[in-house]
Amino acid sequence: MLRIFKTLAVLALCLGDQIAVAQEAPPTPALPKPVNVTRFVPSSEGRTIGMVTALNPDCSSRGPIVARVVEKPAHGEVSFENGDVFPTYVQTSPLFACNSKRTPGLMINYRSEQDFIGQDNMKVFLIFPDGSGAQWDYMLIVK
């Protein structure tokens, strides 16, 4: 009988350790630092205020980019559109040659309320095909 109690005690200790490990929350990954973007847009007119691509070295798409609105603009609307865009990689990027041709990408569009003049703000989070992400914090100067 004593042997059964010792076995149960050891089993309880083992299970207790497993339960404690299972209940620990995984560490939360750090969010990337937001990128501040300023754009000037005409009042009441739709404009593409951002273009995003995720390309391979041969300029083919690495996959779709998913966009989420983190903070809606107070005085306008934001929309996203997949289409062919001219990328704008810096000259030192290995993808710079892709700038001369249209490639699959995501366009970020904004339209202010009718006759609104002033500053609007919004935040967009982008999720890339490799699982990385970026937040773009827009300051929109509507003229």
CA distance 65 to 85: 13
Per the prediction, the chain carries an average pLDDT of 86
Supply the pLDDT for residue 50: 95
Report residue 98: phi and psi, to 5°. -70, -15
Domain ranges of the chain: 34-142
Q: Could you tell me the pTM of the whole model? A: 0.75
CA distance 139 to 45: 17
23 pLDDT higher than 90: no
Cβ(123)–Cβ(72) below 8 Å: no
14 pLDDT higher than 80: no
**Placement of tokens 């995501």 in the chain:** 106
Closest Cα to residue 51, out of 15, 91, 98, 4?
98
Supply the pLDDT for residue 3: 53
Mean pLDDT score, 21-39: 75
Supply the pLDDT for residue 80: 97
Supply the pLDDT for residue 31: 72
pLDDT band at 25 (very low <50, low <70, confident <90, very high): low
Over the chain, what HEC string results?
CHHHHHHHHHHHHHHHHHHHHHHCCCCCCCCCCCEEEEEEECCCCEEEEEEECCECCCCCECCCCEEEEEECCCCEEEEEEEEEECCCCCCCCCCHHHHHCCEEEEEEEEEECCCCCEEEEEEEEEECCCCCEEEEEEEEEEC
Supply the pLDDT for residue 78: 97
16 pLDDT higher than 70: no
CATH 1.10.3470 fits 34-142, yes or no: no
pLDDT digits (tens, 9 = 90+) for 41-98: 999 999 999 999 999 999 999 999 999 999 999 999 999 999 999 999 999 999 999 9
